[in-house]
């Protein structure tokens, strides 16, 4: 197929995309509404149309974009547009069937009429996945073209600069021309992001303000709820430790990290994890031990290394009151040997102390510590995180400061060999910048003061970090081969520029051929850091330069993907959409099993949750701690996401099942007044699948909460009366009891068909 015919074919599919959007609009007219899944498809088709027209524009300018005129590019484009055309045709056919069904049932109620499309839901999921794949391929093609164009411009300028006659361009002029080109590239990315921001705001506002769901988006003039994590309530006191392990942490050597000698690099080992249930698990790290440590391999080494061995033993499940023993031995020639022995307690990832540390509930932690139900030194089960590490992971910086003052060990390192201690993580965050003065104060109390010195920053790193006054472009022009040099943690200058949100430095480094997929010792790359720090422009530039949305981790280890990092720390929905548009796995999780939807439920980020559901996120994903999006929303009192999961699930996915912790026990431990009101109107809790389900003494659990009061006790009593079918929500509204105002506000959303929720109890019937 020649270039002209390919351009014509792409333009034809773009026209088909426009026709498909019109067909979906006719469905809206027939159903009197646009269900969430169809709205998501409509958005996908609109995005696809824009991408196709951009491809047409670039292919028309073949002289400026020769990379799109190759035979390989033609084959790829041909396959993609053929698939896109087939998917769009099928979507138009399904739309016509839904439109016909809606028009033929015009006399029935709007809710029943709107459900006529749900028989096509499985195939609609497949079509949307196909369109997502097509969009990802086209985005990568466009990104490669933009990156190629930027590198070609630099090479052309360098070639002109190197001429020996009067046509030679001075280096300063060359750099200025390069600056202009980079600035133009950044501005074009900003325009794309700005347009996507407006489009996303329009689409989500339309969905979240539907008349059937007034609570998800309050009327104009209503103050918006703060965009922060919800503080969970206190919990029951019982905590069962689960197993044991042993870990080793690196210690600063006499030569510091500037010495790259092999004898100063710590060596780590661990017993096989499959033995942990029977024999426990041992983690050992040593450095400078005669006979077993690596010999010196650097002439400049000062050979002043002190011998150290640090080990942790995690006892098997349920053995002894203390399930972690830490042993640290140091030998120095002038002081002799020294020993340190400590014991720690291991708790489940679902322990109340972990939940409180992640949600920033300092009052709840104080109450647990007062009762002896938790300790600042507790270590969680799966990742080996201490409470202060969980607080840092969730960016609860005030909680970090509180835990440190309460005696938490900021130098305790998680058991994963690629992870780091809270003190090093804090120093890392301070160097990445972008923090308020209050956060800087909170992190400075635990930050490792020697951390910067230990990183062995090359010249480009110091320029990017503001530690050297030289121009980055000048340094790269003088020696382009240093563009991918790494520091002590395996980070390149691109990694630091991305983490700091330095758009210009990111674009400059990429124009010199910087690799956007180099992972550091923590298995994180530039895309993960920029996504976590909410730098949308950097994320878009890196994606277009070929940064992998789901990099392959050596050894098959599970580490949070860029999307997973962004879901728990970022705030810009367009950043999330950009990652999804480039093919990010919507259900990617780290070793803790928390998917992006679970993180959105934890932080009550309804915009993120809506995007994940639109991209077929698993609404019933279960973390290693047994938490699902539904139970996570209850634990963290995430009212908007909870309402979305319970009232809009049929628009996007399957029913949210009652997996994980017992719902009533979870509600008793954590639910506030509004969460109880939301739960009262869901059919999940009123099904007669098990008469013993609601016979527990949940009221007693509620009494153990530090925030319990008469109003909350009354609300929970009314909630349990509804669960036990002693009273109906309508009766409560008539009597004006407890949360009747909330009930009346949400009563219109109640479904008449309880059989929809049958699968929610599937796992409880076993």
235 has a pLDDT exceeding 70: no
Percent of the chain at pLDDT > 90 equals 26
* Number of Cβ within a 10 Å radius of residue 370: 10
Reduced to 3 states, what is the DSSP secondary structure of residue 513? coil
Which residue reads 């739960």 in tokens? 679
Higher pLDDT, 656 or 574: 574
Which among 26-35, 39-48, 335-344 has the top mean pLDDT?
A: 39-48
Determine the average pLDDT of the residues in 509-530. Answer: 92
Task: Give residue 385's pLDDT.
Answer: 87
Closest CA to 325 of 246, 272, 378: 246
**Cα separation, 395 vs 219, whole angstroms:** 31
Determine the average pLDDT of the residues in 382-386. Answer: 80
Higher pLDDT, 513 or 696: 513
Determine the average pLDDT of the residues in 696-725. Answer: 79
Rg (CA), the chain: 29
Closest CA to 1 of 110, 101, 82, 86: 82
**Cα separation, 619 vs 609, whole angstroms:** 10
Task: Give residue 2's pLDDT.
Answer: 56
- Supply 308's token pair: 């150290």
- Supply 26's token pair: 């006719």
Determine the average pLDDT of the residues in 235-255. Answer: 40
Task: Give residue 333's pLDDT.
Answer: 63
- CB within 8 Å of 367: residues ≥ 6 apart: 234, 706
**Cα separation, 391 vs 21, whole angstroms:** 45
Q: Residue 528 — very low, low, confident or very high, per pLDDT cuts 50/70/90? A: very high
Span of 88-102, 159-173, 203-217, 577-591 with lowest mean pLDDT? 159-173
Determine the average pLDDT of the residues in 377-394. Answer: 86
Q: Which helix (H) or strand (E) holds 647?
A: helix 639-647
Residue 276, CB half-sphere, CA atoms under 13 Å: how many? Answer: 21
- The residue count of the chain comes to 766
With 0-12 / 13-18 / 19 or more C-beta atoms within 10 angstroms meaning exposed / middle / buried, residue 272 is: exposed
Task: Give residue 222's pLDDT.
Answer: 38
Task: Give residue 257's pLDDT.
Answer: 43
**Cα separation, 81 vs 71, whole angstroms:** 15
Q: Residue 736 — very low, low, confident or very high, per pLDDT cuts 50/70/90? A: low
Higher pLDDT, 752 or 211: 211
Report pLDDT digits (tens) over 345-363: 788 888 889 989 998 999 9
What is the pairing mode between strands 324-332 and 307-314? antiparallel
**Cα separation, 220 vs 227, whole angstroms:** 18
524 has a pLDDT exceeding 50: yes
Cα angle value 578/584/588 (rounded, 5°): 130
Q: Residue 691 — very low, low, confident or very high, per pLDDT cuts 50/70/90? A: low
Span of 163-167, 515-519, 632-636 with lowest mean pLDDT? 163-167
377 has a pLDDT exceeding 70: yes
* Number of Cβ within a 10 Å radius of residue 709: 10
Task: Give residue 577's pLDDT.
Answer: 93
DSSP 168: P
737 has a pLDDT exceeding 70: no
Closest CA to 623 of 608, 635, 606, 611: 635
- The maximal CA–CA distance of the chain, rounded, in angstroms, is 95
- Supply 505's token pair: 């430095």
Task: Give residue 446's pLDDT.
Answer: 92
Report pLDDT digits (tens) over 323-334: 777 777 777 666
Determine the average pLDDT of the residues in 496-520. Answer: 92
Report pLDDT digits (tens) over 159-216: 545 544 444 555 566 566 666 777 777 888 888 888 888 888 888 887 776 544 433 3
Task: Give residue 526's pLDDT.
Answer: 96
DSSP 278-337: HH-EEEEEEES-TTTSPPP--TT----PPEEEEEEEEPPTT-SS--EEEEEEEEETTTEE
Determine the average pLDDT of the residues in 686-691. Answer: 50
CB of 175 within 8 A of CB of 154? no
531 has a pLDDT exceeding 90: yes
**Cα separation, 467 vs 459, whole angstroms:** 9
What is the pairing mode between strands 267-270 and 281-287? antiparallel
Closest CA to 396 of 347, 364, 443, 430: 443
729 has a pLDDT exceeding 70: no
Q: Residue 110 — very low, low, confident or very high, per pLDDT cuts 50/70/90? A: low
Report pLDDT digits (tens) over 274-291: 666 667 777 777 666 665
303 has a pLDDT exceeding 60: no
DSSP 258-289: T---GGGS-EEEE--GGGHHHH-EEEEEEES-
Tell me the average pLDDT of the chain: 76
Q: What is the 3-state secondary structure (H, E, C) of 444-492?
A: HCCCCCCHHHHCCCCHHHHHHCCCCCCCHHHHHHHCHHHCCCCCCCCCC
Task: Give residue 224's pLDDT.
Answer: 38
Task: Give residue 441's pLDDT.
Answer: 93
233 has a pLDDT exceeding 60: no
**Cα separation, 684 vs 121, whole angstroms:** 22
Task: Give residue 497's pLDDT.
Answer: 96
Contacts 24+ apart (CB under 8 A), 206-210: 206/34, 206/39, 207/36, 207/39, 207/610, 208/606, 208/610, 210/33
Judge if pTM exceeds 0.85: no
Reduced to 3 states, what is the DSSP secondary structure of residue 129? helix
Q: Residue 77 — very low, low, confident or very high, per pLDDT cuts 50/70/90? A: confident
Closest CA to 484 of 456, 507, 517, 451: 517
Which residue reads 């480039």 in tokens? 582
Report pLDDT digits (tens) over 430-470: 999 888 999 999 999 999 888 888 888 999 999 999 999 89
765 has a pLDDT exceeding 50: no
- Supply 125's token pair: 């999921």
């Amino acid at each position: 197929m020649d270039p002209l015919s390919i351009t014509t074919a792409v333009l034809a599919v773009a026209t088909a995309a426009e026709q498909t959007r019109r067909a979906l609009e006719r469905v809206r007219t027939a159903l009197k509404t646009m269900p969430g899944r169809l709205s998501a498809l409509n958005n996908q088709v609109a995005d696809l149309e824009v991408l196709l027209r951009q491809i047409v524009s670039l292919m028309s300018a073949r002289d400026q974009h020769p990379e799109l005129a190759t035979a390989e590019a033609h084959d790829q484009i041909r396959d993609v547009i053929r698939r896109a055309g087939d998917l769009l045709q099928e979507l138009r056919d399904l739309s016509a069937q839904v439109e016909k069904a809606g028009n033929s049932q015009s006399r029935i109620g709007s809710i029943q009429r709107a459900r006529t499309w749900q028989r096509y839901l499985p195939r609609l999921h497949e079509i949307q996945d196909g369109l997502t794949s097509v969009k990802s391929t086209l985005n990568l093609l466009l990104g490669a073209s933009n990156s190629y164009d930027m590198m070609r411009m630099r090479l052309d300028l360098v070639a002109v600069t190197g001429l020996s006659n009067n046509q030679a361009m001075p280096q300063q002029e060359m750099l200025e021309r390069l600056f202009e080109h980079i600035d133009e590239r950044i501005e074009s990315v900003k325009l794309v992001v700005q347009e996507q921001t407006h489009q996303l705001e329009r689409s989500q506002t339309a969905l979240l303000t539907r008349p059937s769901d007034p609570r998800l988006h309050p009327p104009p003039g209503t103050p918006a709820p703060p965009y922060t994590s919800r503080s969970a309530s206190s919990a029951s006191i019982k905590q069962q430790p689960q197993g044991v392990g042993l870990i080793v942490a690196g210690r600063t050597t006499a030569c510091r990290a500037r010495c790259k000698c092999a004898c100063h690099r710590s060596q780590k080992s661990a017993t096989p994890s499959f033995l942990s249930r029977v024999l426990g698990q041992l983690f050992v790290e040593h450095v400078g031990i005669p006979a077993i440590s690596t010999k010196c391999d650097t002439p400049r080494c000062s050979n002043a290394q002190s011998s150290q061995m640090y080990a942790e033993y995690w006892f098997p499940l349920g053995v002894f009151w203390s399930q972690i023993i830490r042993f640290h031995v140091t030998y120095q020639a002038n002081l002799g040997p020294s020993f340190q022995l400590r014991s720690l307690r291991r708790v489940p990832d679902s322990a109340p102390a972990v939940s409180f540390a992640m949600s920033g509930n300092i009052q709840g932690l104080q109450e647990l510590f007062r009762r002896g139900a938790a300790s600042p030194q507790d270590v969680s089960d799966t990742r080996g995180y201490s409470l202060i590490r969980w607080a840092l992971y969730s960016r609860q910086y005030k909680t970090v400061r509180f835990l440190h003052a309460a005696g938490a060990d900021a130098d305790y390192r998680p058991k994963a060999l690629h992870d780091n201690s809270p003190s090093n993580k804090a120093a890392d965050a301070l160097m990445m910048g972008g923090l308020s003065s209050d956060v800087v104060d909170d992190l400075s109390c635990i930050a490792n003061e020697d951390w910067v010195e230990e990183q062995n920053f090359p010249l480009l790193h110091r320029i990017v970090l503001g530690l050297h006054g030289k121009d980055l472009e000048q340094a790269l022009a003088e020696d382009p081969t240093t563009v991918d040099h790494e520091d002590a943690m395996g980070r390149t200058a691109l990694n630091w520029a991305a983490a700091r949100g330095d758009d210009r430095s990111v674009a400059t480094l990429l124009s010199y051929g910087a690799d956007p997929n180099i992972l550091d010792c923590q298995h994180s790359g530039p895309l993960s850091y920029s996504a976590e720090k909410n730098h949308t422009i950097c994320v878009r530039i890196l994606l277009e330069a070929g940064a992998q949305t789901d990099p392959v981790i050596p050894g098959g280890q599970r580490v949070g993907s860029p999307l997973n990092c962004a879901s728990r720390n970022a705030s810009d929905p367009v950043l999330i959409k950009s990652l999804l548009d480039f093919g990010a796995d919507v259900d990617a999780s780290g070793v803790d099993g928390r998917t992006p939807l679970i993180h959105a439920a934890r932080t009550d980020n309804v915009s993120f949750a809506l995007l994940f559901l639109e991209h077929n996120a698993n609404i019933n994903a279960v973390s290693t701690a047994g938490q699902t999006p539904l139970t996570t929303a209850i634990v963290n009192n995430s009212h908007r996401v909870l309402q979305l999961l319970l009232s809009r699930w049929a628009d996007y996915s399957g029913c949210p099942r009652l997996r994980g912790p017992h719902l009533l026990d979870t509600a008793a431990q954590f639910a506030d007044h509004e969460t109880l009101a939301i739960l009262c109107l869901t059919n999940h809790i009123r099904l007669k699948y098990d008469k013993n389900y609601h016979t527990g003494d949940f009221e007693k659990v509620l009494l153990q909460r530090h925030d319990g009061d008469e109003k909350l006790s009354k609300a929970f009593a009314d909630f349990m009366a509804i669960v036990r079918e002693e009273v109906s929500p309508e009766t409560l509204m008539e009597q004006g009891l407890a949360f009747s105002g909330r009930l009346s506000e949400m009563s219109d959303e109640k479904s008449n068909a309880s059989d929809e929720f049958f699968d929610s109890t599937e796992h409880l019937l076993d």
